[in-house]
A and B are shown apart, each in its own frame.
Chain A
Amino acid sequence: MKIKKQITAGLSALALSLTVSVSAPVAAADEGPIKVGILHSLSGTMAISESTLKDTMLMLIKEQNENGGLLGRKLEPVVVDPASNWPLFAEKARELLAKDKVDVIFGNWTSVSRKSVLPVVEELNGLLFYPVQYEGEESSENVFYTGAAPNQQAIPAVNYLMNQVGVKRWVLAGTDYVYPRTTNKILEAYLKDHGVADDDIMVNYTPFGHSNWQSIVSDIKTFGSQGKKTAVVSTINGDANVPFYRELANQGIKAEDIPVVAFSVGEQELSGIDTGPLVGHLAAWNYFMSVDTDANYDFIDKWVAYTGKEDAVTNDPMEAHYIGFNMWKEAVKKAGTTDVDAVKDAIIGVSVPNLTGGYATMMPNHHITKPVLIGEIQDNGQFSVVWQTPSTVAGDAWSDYLPGSKDLISDWRKPLHCGNYNVVTKSCGGKSEVAAE
């Protein structure tokens, strides 16, 4: 535990000192366009969330080309559609790397799609930038996690509720898949560490697209009426949210009584909800469209211009792609080549501005530093930031609150070069062959 903390502290210090300013000399010979693979579902159930990320990438690439491309070469997007079908994700990743020979892939949303792509990317030694908040417990040499790890979203949010709002009783409600499961596990452990009794925690899981929330919401209502301030920590996924919030509103649960803090509800989800009754419910992200910085306003203007929709919204995963793309860009400049191994080494420590007025730095564990923002839903489908971490938080690949992983750290620099180094046994577990390199 202690050792680990020290190491991570050291790493982050070092990483931050590495911040790049100058770009490496442009590669002389033009070797044709640099291919950027985009692996987001354009059809099927995930199209709702993922198609906008595809457009974001196209926008960023277009812009980069207008500014003269990269290393004097144009960027060429290669778009494929894994159609929300998990095996197809693996197949398409293989297609991108083996057939189209792309230099980098930006893509995936769901955990399962990432898990399915992971072995392929590692086998063919590709680069994958993954833009969505996820459950952690993973660190791959070939994957860069630009979304939030649990310690960059869940835990700060709970802290806020505990300290600022004085919540004593917790409902952990989530869709039954790995992200909520893990997040809730971490939160449970964390809450108990902070003296919350077992019977002050209620955990509930529902299937994907669950639409009939009546009894669950009424349970929450009763659970919340025991005299202690209660909050719901929601890891409910996508489509299930609309009926959930509707039911909350109709059963008269106001944010003032039982606030709901959500980790999967962003501006885009809200754009499909009548937010009137939701005012005051919370969400924890690393970016909000309402953030009051010029960088953000410029980004929004570009986005509106690109989509041609005045009401187009931006959200956290889009920012993650924005950051990821710029980091990759910087790393390529720094390395002077798109060669995967070179970029992998170069990118660690790269810092680029985020949209919330700070900097994001790539950590040696392939996670990045992010500020954590807590926002309250407004009647216009936006969030107003009510609290944010004083400084950025470094993503933690392995949670300190899970018995399996509390002794694990990840550092992809030589000499350690290991995704899950056990600081107690001093050995690189699991993917030993990777460590052997």
Chain B
Amino acid sequence: MSIMSELTHRDRVFDFLTPTASPVDVRHGPILYLEDVTVSFDGFRAINNLNLTIDDGELRCIIGPNGAGKTTMMDIITGKTRPDVGSVWFGSRHNLLTMNEPDIASLGIGRKFQKPTVFEALTVFENLELAMATDKRVLPTLTARLTGEAKARIDEVLTTIGLTDLRHREAGILSHGQKQWLEIGMLLMQKPRLLLVDEPVAGMTEQEMERTAELLTSLAGKQSVVVVEHDMGFVRSIARTVTVLHQGSVLAEGSMDDVSNDPKVIEVYLGEGA
């Protein structure tokens, strides 16, 4: 059936040329609400009535020990996991719980996985090309041509992530760090309103870390960024507001200094060198 519908919209084949600014409604400030979200995997409560709001253009860091539910939270936001109860809203118009991954993605929520996942069989260039925000329905994709401006955009991102020389190498051969960068690059190509970044600096050198920090901070403002990270140093270097997750719910929230002095947090992090 889907194919049929595709065929009927021949007139719109080229509408990927028109920029896809997501129609997210942020007049009431926050771009992401999570309300009393709970999800449990056979008995074990990964998320336990979690409440979280991210403001438009905010850069938020989320920390927490293993199993605090950080990744699960991202799964819920991106539609990979459905919560048992609770509501998740993108802006004040879109109920994310009623949508699937592609819809959510095209709404403007980009995600970077904890374990960098790029398309290893494709070249760096192609990876970015696929990520580019365009009409992603089947036939338009089939007949898609690469326009000059699109190429320009890709080159721009290539330079940002510093992979210009490797553009035609298969992504499979990249180092761990480079894959991290490529994936971030793919996020940029998506032009998302909200970036969910899971452990972006794992396996990166000091310099790379700094550049990542710069990049993320520079993004904030235009886009909202949620960073999940273990590396406290890195968090401190970028964080304005920090949320501490513990056992699936918010343990503390505030500036880095506040939370790091919070006894509860210290207790949780005891021995984790916070």
Q: Determine whether A and B are in direct contact in the complex, meaning some CB atoms lie less than 8 angstroms apart.
A: no
Seen from chain B, the residues whose Cβ lies within 8 Å of a Cβ on chain A are: none
